[in-house]
Amino acid sequence: MTTRADDDPAAGHARALLRTATRHSAAGCAALCLVSTAATGAGLLLPAALGRTLDLLLAHAPATRWVLYCAGLVLLLALLDAAQTVLTGTVDARSTAWLRRRLTGHVLGTGPRAADRFGSGDLVARLVGNAAEAGTTPAARAALLAALAGPVGGVVALGLIDWRLAAVFLAGAPLLTLLLRAVARDTAESAARYQRAQGDIAAALAEAVEGVRTVRAAGTQDRETARVLRPLPELSRAGHRMWRVQGRAAARAVAVAPLLHLGVVAVAGVLLTRGRLSVGEVLAASRYAVLATGVGVLVGRLAGLARARAAARRLGEVETEPATVFGARPLPGGPGRLELRGVTARRGGRAVLDGVDLVVPGGTALAVVGRSGAGKSLLAALAGRLADPDGGEVLLDGVPLRDLPHDDLRRAVGYAFARPALLGGTVGQAIGLGLASPSPAAIRQAARTALADDFVRRLPDGYDTPVADAPRSGGESQRLGLARAFAHGGRLLILDDALSSLDTVTERRIADALLGAGPGTTRLLVAHRSATAARADAVAWLDGGRVRAVGPHEELWRIPEYRAVFGEAENTAYAETESGAQP
């Protein structure tokens, strides 16, 4: 069944985006339309002025004033052309910047869902390349009126000289109309295929760059290069098809336009011999026939608009992923009690979490454990509303997270991740990310708690060292992420495997500080090590999409299936720790 364009949500979002982008650059578009129309008007006046000047010169009459008119029109055309170039570039830049800002904000507002659906590489391709192409739409539309006015004005001018000249041209007009329609349709289709192939290459390239160490270690550079470039033949086919479409259109235009031009000139010549036209009018008619057959300009405009619309549709697909909507119910005071009621969350059609009920009393530390794929990270994401459940609800101090305002929620919940993204100009700014006015003392205290202060002070400029210039290991990056979580504070702290890259001694010291954070902070830890789970107040054991058991680690340890979650090496290490051996 074919889907109508009007029923396509992506197409609807694309049209709305382009309308809003045009309104955003309304002043520039209006100026561009006026300048382009003025240039078209001057171009339409020039043949008449040239014809009149020629007639005066042939009649040996004074023609100085008309020569000056012609020179003035030529100069005006040059100035208007320069202004049109500047305005087009300005409007394109403003529209592209607005689209990128709008789509970037939307992607960040949707959270991880956009990256899960499209992939980070394809998203970058859409926000960079497709936004730039779609950003040309407002200027192209503004200039399209002038592009259409040229041929229409040429036909009208031919009719004013003699109706038979216009009739000769209009006899071939249907061919030009069919040509332009075919160009727009075929270009849009091939442009969409071209842009999809670009996105596929960008997505594969982003994956390869992220895993470059694995690729080098496995010695699979050639294989990975082939995988990244696998869509290249499709890209080539789509690109060649676009050029063929435009090439065929240009060839047909070259075939049709000269015939129409010759027909107009031939009729004008006949009328000249019969004394119906002057030599100057024949010259003007010849020039107007050229303007009337300006199919090349229209082909280029329509092809550009088709490519821009295809790019805008890819941006519209991103906007179909709804942004997270926050409520207006203020978060009351409370100890940070976290509750999951009948929470179900699906990924890829599979229920990763299925009817989960879980309560974390305020001020306590709960470790979440389970085999790989059990849904630990998804539960951590739901607990702080980095994702929404498909069923059930998550509450913080009795208030559903969906009902909380954005600022209240983010002030209340702090996060640390296994691979933290360190955003900000300097190391200090990365630790204080999200805080309204972080003090240097608070940042240093958080770094000391995360055992990051020593290596930060050894950096060239300490806490003022640019993040990009701060060499660090995976464990040091994790400690900076932990420092950011500690600096954030709040009533709920969620650690999603945030201790995984630390050595055993460092993990134990940070766990001691973390689990002694005091009754004002509720802590939810995704744990993979038995020693970390043992230090928590309680453990939630995920198995088969449900919470199989909740209780102290020592009690759950008696269950063989629970011990199997940590593996043989972890079991041995935990047993040695319990018997008094050094970790």
Taking only the tens place, the pLDDT of each residue in 412-470 is 999 988 888 888 789 999 898 888 788 889 899 999 988 889 889 998 889 999 988 88
Other Cβ atoms closer than 10 A to 110: 18
Q: Are 252 and 179 in contact (CB under 8 A)?
A: yes
The pLDDT of residue 467 is 87
Among the residue ranges 303-312, 342-351, 545-554, 574-583, the one predicted with the least confidence is 574-583
Q: What does residue 398 show for φ and ψ, rounded to 5 degrees?
A: 85, 0
Which one has a higher pLDDT value, 200 or 549? Answer: 549
The pLDDT of residue 49 is 93
DSSP 467: G
Whole-angstrom CA distances from 338 to 150, 324, 352, 397, 408 are 68, 20, 20, 6, 15
The pLDDT of residue 63 is 86
239: CB partners within 8 A, 6+ apart:
190, 194
Other Cβ atoms closer than 10 A to 178: 11
3-state secondary structure of 502: coil
User: Is the confidence at residue 578, as pLDDT, over 50?
Assistant: no
> Sorting pLDDT into bands at 50, 70 and 90, what band is 360?
very high
Distance separating alpha carbons of residues 336 and 424, to the nearest angstrom: 29
Q: What is the mean pLDDT of residues 70-75?
A: 94
Distance separating alpha carbons of residues 281 and 278, to the nearest angstrom: 5
The CA radius of gyration of the chain, in Å to the nearest whole number, is 34
Query: Could you tell me if residue 348 is left (phi over 0), alpha (psi between -120 and 50 degrees) or otherwise beta?
Result: left
- Of 256, 245, 259, 258, give the one whose Cα is nearest residue 302: 245
Tracing tokens 């049109």 back to the chain, one arrives at 84
The pLDDT of residue 250 is 61
The one-letter code for the residue type at 17 is L
- Pick one of 3.40.50.1820, 1.10.3720.10, 1.20.1560.10, 3.30.420.40 as the CATH number of 5-319: 1.20.1560.10
Give residue limits of the domains in the chain. Answer: 5-319, 338-578
User: Is the confidence at residue 577, as pLDDT, over 60?
Assistant: no
User: Is the confidence at residue 358, as pLDDT, over 90?
Assistant: yes
3-state secondary structure of 582: coil
The one-letter code for the residue type at 154 is G
Q: What is the mean pLDDT of residues 332-345?
A: 92
Q: What is the mean pLDDT of residues 510-529?
A: 78
Q: What does residue 314 show for φ and ψ, rounded to 5 degrees?
A: -65, -35
User: Is the confidence at residue 246, as pLDDT, over 70?
Assistant: no
Other Cβ atoms closer than 10 A to 147: 17
Which one has a higher pLDDT value, 572 or 483? Answer: 483
State the Cα angle at 490 between 487 and 491, rounded to 5°.
140
DSSP 129: I
Residues of the chain with pLDDT > 90, as a percent, come to 32
Whole-angstrom CA distances from 114 to 21, 23, 75, 580 are 22, 27, 52, 48
Distance separating alpha carbons of residues 163 and 441, to the nearest angstrom: 86
- Greatest mean pLDDT among 59-63, 80-84, 113-117, 423-427: 80-84
The pLDDT of residue 248 is 66
125: CB partners within 8 A, 6+ apart:
198, 199, 201, 202, 203
Strands (E), 426-521: 492-496
The pLDDT of residue 185 is 63
Q: What does residue 536 show for φ and ψ, rounded to 5 degrees?
A: -75, 160
The reply to whether domains 5-319 and 338-578 share a CATH topology is no
Q: Are 261 and 293 in contact (CB under 8 A)?
A: yes
Q: Are 231 and 250 in contact (CB under 8 A)?
A: no
b/e map 11-31, b = 16+ CB within 10 Å: bbbbbebbeebbebbeebbeb
Give the pairing of strands 538-543 and 365-369.
parallel
Strands (E), 328-389: 338-347, 350-360, 365-369
Q: What is the mean pLDDT of residues 207-225?
A: 77
DSSP 457: H
- Of 103, 92, 102, give the one whose Cα is nearest residue 138: 92
Q: What does residue 491 show for φ and ψ, rounded to 5 degrees?
A: -95, -10
Helix (H) or strand (E) run with residue 264 in it:
helix 232-273
Distance separating alpha carbons of residues 366 and 385, to the nearest angstrom: 18
User: Is the confidence at residue 6, as pLDDT, over 70?
Assistant: no
User: Is the confidence at residue 581, as pLDDT, over 50?
Assistant: no
Quick one: how far is CA 130 from the chain centroid?
A: 8
Distance separating alpha carbons of residues 366 and 552, to the nearest angstrom: 9
The pLDDT of residue 27 is 92
Distance separating alpha carbons of residues 114 and 20, to the nearest angstrom: 22
Q: What is the mean pLDDT of residues 196-202?
A: 81
Partnered with residue 42 across adjacent β-strands are none
Number of H helices, E strands in the chain: 24, 10
Strands (E), 443-527: 492-496, 522-526
Give the pairing of strands 365-369 and 522-526.
parallel
Four-residue CA torsion sign, 477, 121, 215, 570: positive
Domain 338-578 CATH class label: alpha beta
Give the pairing of strands 350-360 and 399-400.
unpaired
User: Is the confidence at residue 515, as pLDDT, over 90?
Assistant: no
User: Is the confidence at residue 336, as pLDDT, over 80?
Assistant: yes
Give the pairing of strands 399-400 and 391-396.
antiparallel
The pLDDT of residue 339 is 95
Q: What is the mean pLDDT of residues 471-485?
A: 87
- The string of pLDDT tens digits covering residues 373-426 is 889 999 999 999 988 999 999 999 999 999 999 989 988 999 988 888 888 789
For the full predicted model, state whether its pTM sits above 0.85: no
Distance separating alpha carbons of residues 222 and 206, to the nearest angstrom: 16
User: Is the confidence at residue 575, as pLDDT, over 70?
Assistant: no
Distance separating alpha carbons of residues 524 and 497, to the nearest angstrom: 10
- The string of pLDDT tens digits covering residues 120-135 is 888 888 888 889 999 9
> Sorting pLDDT into bands at 50, 70 and 90, what band is 549?
very high
Q: Work out the mean pLDDT of the chain and round it to a whole number.
A: 84
Describe the chain by its helix, strand, coil percentages, rounded to 5: 65, 10, 20
- The string of pLDDT tens digits covering residues 264-303 is 888 888 888 888 889 988 988 888 888 877 655 666 677 7
Token pair for residue 524? 């939810």
Q: What is the mean pLDDT of residues 100-124?
A: 85
The pLDDT of residue 255 is 62
Q: What does residue 452 show for φ and ψ, rounded to 5 degrees?
A: -110, -10
Residues of the chain with pLDDT > 70, as a percent, come to 89
User: Is the confidence at residue 517, as pLDDT, over 70?
Assistant: no
User: Is the confidence at residue 532, as pLDDT, over 60?
Assistant: yes
Q: What is the mean pLDDT of residues 318-345?
A: 91
Whole-angstrom CA distances from 483 to 357, 442, 501, 529, 538 are 31, 10, 15, 21, 24
The pLDDT of residue 367 is 92
Give the pairing of strands 546-551 and 338-347.
unpaired
- The string of pLDDT tens digits covering residues 186-196 is 666 777 777 78
